[in-house]
Amino acid sequence: MAKIAILPGDGIGPEIIRATIDVLEGIATQFNHKFEYIYDDVGGAAIKKYGSPLIKKTIDLCRSCDAVLLGAVGDPAYDTLPAEQRPEKAILQLRKSLGLFANLRPACLFNTLIDSSPLKRETIADIDLMVVRELTSGIYFGEPRQRIAAGVEIKALDTMIYTNWEIERIARTAFELAQKRHKKVTSVDKANVLESSRLWREMVNKVAKDYPEIELQHMYVDNTAMQLIKNPRQFDVLLTGNMFGDILSDEAAMLTGSLGMLASASLGSNTPGLFEPAHGSAPDIAGKNTANPIATIMSASLMLDYGLHMKPEAAAIRQAVEMTLQQGYRTQDIFSKEMTCIGTIEMGQRVKENLSNIPHVS
Ligand code: IPM
Ligand code: MG
């Protein structure tokens, strides 16, 4: 039996998680598994309940489970709190305390959604890229970070810092993944300006020597942002630091039709992985049963694949999602004419039902 920590979080978090649990229960039935779900609160929900976005008990719970599935955090009610107390702190602290240094964000297009992308069909047909984002260092965690007020002048600073071994281990993750994919790594940096990027490039080149069969390309981040729109099919694995990956993964998500489609896996070594959609808590549509749960459902698929070593089960989820889209069901963010617009919970139910229509499922 797999034990899964479930952290619905804020905004649309609870509804997209509910839809995803339906799908996981479908997997449990089809494949004769039993999943145990242990719920806890993080983010704004935890501020309300415990007075803090992430308490130690929740971290301990995550450590004791086989995997962690998270909805979303972020609540405008707490936007004015200092950084340390904001809901987003929960996710940053969870990543750091579980040592989840590798964030995998696969952007692949469901063919049925090709017309939902803002880009032309021929530009995005068959894109299949994976952002491998460093997640526990860089400017997100660098010290010092502070505000300095001197008279009328106020300064604020963050520190972009990388250590050689931090770059090496994330580069290794990227090269290992590329080996199982299309054997190409594009490493993203700003080495024409930043010292930390120059070390980044040096370390990536060093790791590349161990992977002679992988094609390595270095690309400045500004050019990468442009190339993702111009010719996204050139990319296989995009290796990035923490902040560049945050930015480029939203862009990559949009190529696939909607930010509501991009799943993510955060992995460390000898620690349970954290699986969450790459989008935020969308407070404007929270509680309306209109959010797209597919990014979370696909995160559950990544959880089965990378976290629980259930590959056929992971593939079944993907196929069931594809089938549901083929049947014309859409949430409003990916709706187009002649399709059937359905809500968050119904999307989960349709995917679950389709699990039993997949031929090879035992
Ligand atoms: C993401 C999110 C987070 C990040 C926020 C919520 C802290 O944007 O996972 O991409 O910046 O990493
Ligand atoms: Mg982001």
Structural tokens at position 292: 């797209």
| pLDDT one-digit tens code per residue, 302-348 | 999 999 999 999 999 999 999 999 999 999 999 988 999 999 999 99
The upper half-sphere exposure of residue 303, i.e. CA atoms within 13 Å in the direction of its Cβ, equals 31
The domain boundary residue, chosen from 204, 224, 255: 255
What pLDDT is attached to residue 158?
A: 98
Question: Both 277 and 352 in a single domain?
Answer: yes
Q: How far apart are CA 42 and CA 7, in angstroms?
A: 6
Q: How far is the CA of 63 from the centre of ligand 2 (A)?
A: 24
Question: Both 211 and 271 in a single domain?
Answer: no
Q: Contact at 8 Å (CB) between 296 and 277? A: yes
Question: Both 281 and 155 in a single domain?
Answer: no
**CA neighbor of 347 nearest in space, from 276, 292, 275:** 292
Q: How far apart are CA 168 and CA 200, in angstroms?
A: 8
Q: How far apart are CA 344 and CA 362, in angstroms?
A: 27
Question: Both 251 and 122 in a single domain?
Answer: yes
Question: Both 138 and 229 in a single domain?
Answer: yes
Q: 11 by DSSP, 3-state: which?
A: coil
Closest atom of ligand 1 relative to the 74 alpha carbon: 6
**CA neighbor of 16 nearest in space, from 347, 303, 252:** 347
129 beta partners: 107
Q: In total, how many domains does the chain have?
A: 2
Q: How far apart are CA 93 and CA 141, in angstroms?
A: 10
Query: What does the mean pLDDT of the chain come to?
Result: 95
Provide DSSP, 250-318.
Answer: HHHHHHTT-GGG-EEEEE-SSS-EEEEESS---GGGTTTT-S--HHHHHHHHHIIIIIS--HHHHHHHH
In a domain, 96, yes or no: yes
Question: Both 249 and 309 in a single domain?
Answer: no
What pLDDT is attached to residue 109?
A: 86
The domain boundary residue, chosen from 202, 222, 255: 255
The domain boundary residue, chosen from 255, 275, 298: 255
In a domain, 111, yes or no: no
What pLDDT is attached to residue 118?
A: 85
Question: Both 284 and 232 in a single domain?
Answer: no
Query: Which protein residue has the closest C-alpha to ligand 1 atom 5?
Result: 88
Question: Both 55 and 142 in a single domain?
Answer: no
**Backbone phi, then psi, for 277, in 5-degree steps?**
-65, 155
In a domain, 178, yes or no: yes
In a domain, 217, yes or no: yes
Catalytically annotated residues: 140, 190, 222, 246, 250
Q: How many degrees, rounded to 5, is the angle at CA 210 between CA 206 and CA 214?
A: 100
In a domain, 161, yes or no: yes
Side chain identity at residue 30, one-letter code: Q
Residues whose CB is less than 8 angstroms from the CB of residue 168 and which lie 6 or more positions away in sequence, other chains included: 203, 206, 207
Q: 161 by DSSP, 3-state: which?
A: coil
Percent of the chain with pLDDT over 70: 99
Q: How far is the CA of 210 from the centre of ligand 2 (A)?
A: 31
Q: Which residues of the chain have pLDDT under 50?
A: none
Q: Contact at 8 Å (CB) between 129 and 237? A: yes
Question: Both 283 and 343 in a single domain?
Answer: yes
Exposure string (b/e) for 305-319, b if CB count within 10 Å is 16 or more?
bbbbebeebbbbbbb
Question: Both 98 and 126 in a single domain?
Answer: no
Q: How far is the CA of 325 from the centre of ligand 2 (A)?
A: 25
Rounded to two decimals, what is the model's pTM? 0.95
Task: Residue 237: give the domain boundaries.
Answer: 118-255
In a domain, 220, yes or no: yes
Question: Both 237 and 269 in a single domain?
Answer: no
Query: Residue 87 belongs to a domain with what CATH number?
Result: 3.40.718.10
Question: Both 48 and 131 in a single domain?
Answer: no
In a domain, 359, yes or no: yes
CA-CA-CA-CA torsion sign (103, 107, 108, 109): positive
List residues near ligand 1 (CB under 6 A). Answer: 88, 91-92, 246, 278, 280
Q: How far apart are CA 266 and CA 35, in angstroms?
A: 20
What pLDDT is attached to residue 96?
A: 96
